[in-house]
Every structure is written in structure tokens, then in C-alpha cells.
């Protein structure tokens, strides 16, 4: 939702609230510039927001002449929003204030891959979770989920890894909780958190890439998520990197996630170990059957030669994809998150090196690459923010 739409539909106070949520604290002059509202309108609206205990003024920085400059900030804990993130058969559920502070969180294990049971498990916990807060939360739920998500209708079109097709999440959750529900891809939710509160908060235009069991990206223009017509903008895990590469669950051959995601690293390491001379190879990992990508990453950091090779191979493919994204979108920064980048400095270093080699030099040299700051809670926080962006209303604060 654009600021112009907010002004036309819901008034200047909502435009101010949303601007402070997205861009952080600022002066009245900065608010005037970003919202397009007049100084008089800004003054009147701020007075009303202060009276409602949603915004306050503070003298916390110096102007260019050395005098304190008044800035406007959101009041901590003025309202709570709720989000959840599904990953590795577990929900991370969180309640947050409008500044992104974590008020309360919980882990909810899921015992099945059945979509209806997975969402019902979450729904059963939400009521008790919300009742444990010190104030009633906004009656709205944001969910970060795997797969291709039609964010406009809160439907998972396809989550190939889980064999989910056309899962109407909004309908399921409305039936179970009575709350409206907004759904977004979990990696794009995590990226929104990094964009507003984490490693990307100093940039207006950035790309987040999550690498775990799968791969997906989020594109953030002026600190807002670019969703695309069906919510699928950023599905780089299913871009073709090797035309004759391995078959992906999506039906294509040579998808990026089949070459760079966690399962690809695990498979590549097993393959190389079994093909090596067992008498001469002394790797860091003994149990090849139960190993995880994080184990391979850790072994690579300890100098395991084959683990180093497996990590570098996977990261090199990602670096090619990153170069293509740089040449297409020219972001200020690329933030890498997920279990693999968080576990492997080598993976990040290699992907960055390949990106800089293959992207246009002026673009590559100016683009910053960093790793995510938020871990498990990032998806829930981003999903809650995404839902609130789409449904912000002053009635929530009445």
C-alpha cells in the first residue's frame, strides 16, 4: 500500500504511523518530505497521535547548528501484533510491538506434514498465547510459510518440497481462530525484518536471500516488499542455473536450490566421500546418513577438504544467481540469511567473490553483502509486519 493510498483512504495519521514504522524515528521536516503532507497537517495529526499515546517527541540528536532537534518516535508497547513462521516442522510464534521489539515468543512443534494439521496445530496455541499478553493484541495474524504464496489471497499455490498445492491458509485460520490471516513466503518475511530492523535497516533498496532447505529471495524497494502479481517475486530457488542439472520437485531441471541449498550440500558431500579413497581420507563427519548441511559447514570451517569443496561448489552457484540479481535490480545491499549462510562464513565469502567476478563491475563494487542479524524470530516478526502493512487501521488502537 502506497503512502498516497494511505492518505486518500485512511488519513494523514495512518500515513505518519506507517512512515515511522517503515523508516524509523525522524523529524517533522523529514515526515513532511516522505509523506507529502503539509506542515500544518503534520502538526495537527501528530498532536492527535501523541494524545492517543502512539507517538512521542524526544530531543535525542543534534541539528547541524548544535541545538537539539526534536524527533518523532513510536511509543513502545502501544500495540501488539502477532506473527508466526513455519520451518523444520516447527512454528515460531511471536508477539511484537510496532517498533519490532519481541514481547513474547514460543516454539510449537508440528508432528505432521499435512497442511491442515500443521495450521490447526498453530491455531490451537494462538488463543492461549494471546491471552497471556498484558493487553489485547491486534486481531490479525501474519504467517511466514514455505512455497509460492499468493499473498493477495493468502493461499499457498505450491510448496513443492512439502507436496502442498493450493492450501487456503486464510480460510483454515479464519475457521480455527476467527482472525483474518495474511500469508507471505517465510524467506520474504525474514527479509522484511532485516530490512526494517536488522542488517539491512540502513538501506532503502536491498535484496534478502534465504538459504536453508530451499532458497528464496525478497526484493525490497524503498523498504517495502515487492510481491509481484501473485506474490512470487523473488523465487530465485527455481531459476535455472544448469539446464541439464538435477530434477527439482517443481518439475524443472537444474534449479538453483538443487545446487546450492542445504540438501544439495549434504548430497554433494556424501557423494565425494564415497568416491574418495577411504584409506587416505579422514573427514570430520563420521555418520554420513544423518548429517545436516550445518555439519558440512562446520567441518569446512575445521579444514575438512571435501567439506570445503562441497560448500564452495554450492556457494559458487549462488554467487552466479546473486550476480544476475545485481545486474537486474542494482540493490544497495544483499543480505544472506538462513541456516547455511549463518553456519558458514566460507559459503558467504565464496558466494560474494563469485558475485563480484560475474556482475557488472560498477554494480558489484558498490553493493554491500552482509549476513542476517535475526535468527528464528525473524520470520514471525516479518510476517506480522507484512500483515499489518496490508491491514493498518486506526480502529486497532481504539
Helices (H) and strands (E) in the chain, counts: 15, 15
Q: What are 165-183's pLDDT values in tens digits? A: 999 999 999 999 999 999 9
Classify domain 201-371 at the CATH class level.
Answer: alpha beta
Q: If phi over 0 gives left and psi between -120 and 50 gives alpha, with beta otherwise, what is residue 166? A: left
Give the pLDDT confidence score for residue 290 in this predicted structure. 85
Closest CA to 396 of 78, 32, 6, 7: 78
Q: How many CB atoms lie within 10 A of CB 299?
A: 21
Give the full edge-to-edge strand order of the sheet including 224-225: 224-225, 215-221, 206-211, 333-337, 368-371
Give the pLDDT confidence score for residue 5 in this predicted structure. 43
Q: What are 203-239's pLDDT values in tens digits? A: 999 999 999 999 999 999 999 999 888 888 999 999 9
Give the pLDDT confidence score for residue 3 in this predicted structure. 46
What would the grid cell of residue 364 be?
Answer: 558489484
CATH topology of domain 3-74: Arc Repressor Mutant, subunit A (1.10.10)
Give the pLDDT confidence score for residue 236 in this predicted structure. 96
What would the grid cell of residue 341 be?
Answer: 549462510
Give the pLDDT confidence score for residue 284 in this predicted structure. 62
CB hemisphere CA count around 377 (13 angstroms):
16
Give the pLDDT confidence score for residue 8 in this predicted structure. 42
User: pTM for the complete prediction?
Assistant: 0.91
Closest CA to 21 of 261, 289, 201, 270: 201
Whole-angstrom distance, CA of residue 373 vs CA of residue 193: 9
Partners of 74 in the beta sheet?
Answer: 55
Q: What are 304-344's pLDDT values in tens digits? A: 999 999 999 999 999 999 999 999 999 999 999 999 999 99
* Domain residue spans of the chain: 3-74, 81-191+377-397, 201-371
CATH topology of domain 81-191+377-397: Nucleotidyltransferase; domain 5 (3.30.420)
Whole-angstrom distance, CA of residue 365 vs CA of residue 89: 39
- Model confidence at 395, pLDDT cuts 50, 70, 90, reads confident
Pairing of strands 141-145, 181-185: parallel
Same fold, 3-74 and 81-191+377-397: no
Pairing of strands 215-221, 224-225: antiparallel
Average pLDDT of span 369-391? 95
Closest CA to 263 of 298, 291, 300: 291
Please list the alpha-helical segments (H only) found in the chain.
3-10, 12-23, 28-35, 39-51, 115-131, 169-177, 186-197, 257-260, 262-275, 293-301, 305-329, 339-343, 345-358, 361-366, 377-391
Q: Looking at the predicted structure, is the pLDDT value of residue 10 above 80? A: no
Amino acid at each position: 500500500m502506497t503512502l498516497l493510498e494511505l492518505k486518500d483512504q485512511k488519513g494523514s495519521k495512518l500515513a505518519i504511523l506507517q512512515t515511522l514504522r517503515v523508516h524509523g524515528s525522524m523529524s517533522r521536516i523529514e515526515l513532511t518530505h516522505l509523506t507529502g503532507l503539509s506542515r500544518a497537517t503534520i502538526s495537527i495529526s501528530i498532536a492527535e497521535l501523541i494524545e492517543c499515546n502512539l507517538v512521542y517527541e524526544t530531543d535525542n540528536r543534534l541539528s547541524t547548528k548544535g541545538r537539539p532537534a526534536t524527533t518523532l518516535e513510536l511509543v513502545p508497547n502501544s500495540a501488539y501484533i502477532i506473527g508466526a513462521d513455519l520451518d523444520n516442522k516447527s512454528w515460531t510464534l511471536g508477539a511484537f510491538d510496532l517498533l519490532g521489539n519481541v514481547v513474547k515468543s514460543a516454539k510449537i512443534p508440528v508432528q505432521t506434514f499435512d497442511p491442515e494439521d500443521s495450521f490447526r496445530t498453530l491455531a490451537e496455541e494462538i488463543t492461549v498465547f494471546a491471552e497471556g499478553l498484558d493487553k489485547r493484541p491486534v486481531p490479525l495474524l501474519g504467517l511466514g510459510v514455505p512455497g509460492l504464496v499468493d499473498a493477495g489471497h493468502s493461499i499457498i499455490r505450491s510448496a513443492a518440497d512439502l507436496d502442498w498445492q493450493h492450501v487456503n491458509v486464510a480460510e483454515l485460520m479464519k475457521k480455527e481462530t476467527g482472525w483474518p490471516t495474511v500469508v507471505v513466503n517465510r524467506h520474504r518475511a525474514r527479509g522484511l525484518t532485516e530490512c526494517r530492523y536488522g542488517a539491512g535497516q540502513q538501506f532503502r533498496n536491498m535484496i534478502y536471500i534465504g538459504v536453508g532447505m530451499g532458497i528464496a529471495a525478497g526484493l525490497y524497494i524503498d523498504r517495502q516488499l515487492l510481491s509481484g502479481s501473485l506474490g512470487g517475486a523473488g523465487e530465485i530457488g527455481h531459476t535455472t542455473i544448469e539446464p541439464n542439472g538435477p530434477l527439482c520437485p517443481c518439475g524443472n531441471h537444474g534449479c538453483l536450490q538443487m545446487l546450492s541449498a542445504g540438501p544439495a550440500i549434504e548430497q554433494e558431500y556424501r557423494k565425494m566421500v564415497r568416491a574418495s579413497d577411504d584409506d587416505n581420507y579422514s573427514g570430520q563427519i563420521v555418520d554420513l546418513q544423518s548429517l545436516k548441511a550445518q555439519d558440512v559447514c562446520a567441518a569446512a570451517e575445521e579444514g575438512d577438504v571435501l567439506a570445503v569443496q562441497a560448500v564452495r561448489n554450492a556457494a559458487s552457484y549462488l554467487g552466479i544467481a546473486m550476480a544476475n540479481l545485481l545486474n537486474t535490480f542494482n540493490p544497495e545491499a544483499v543480505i544472506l540469511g538462513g541456516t547455511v549462510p549463518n553456519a558458514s562464513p566460507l559459503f558467504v565469502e565464496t558466494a560474494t567473490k563469485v558475485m563480484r567476478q560475474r556482475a557488472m563491475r560498477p554494480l558489484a563494487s558498490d553493493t554491500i553483502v552482509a549476513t542476517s542479524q535475526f535468527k528464528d524470530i525473524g520470520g514471525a516478526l516479518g510476517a506480522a509486519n507484512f500483515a499489518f502493512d496490508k491491514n493498518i487501521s486506526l480502529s486497532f488502537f481504539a
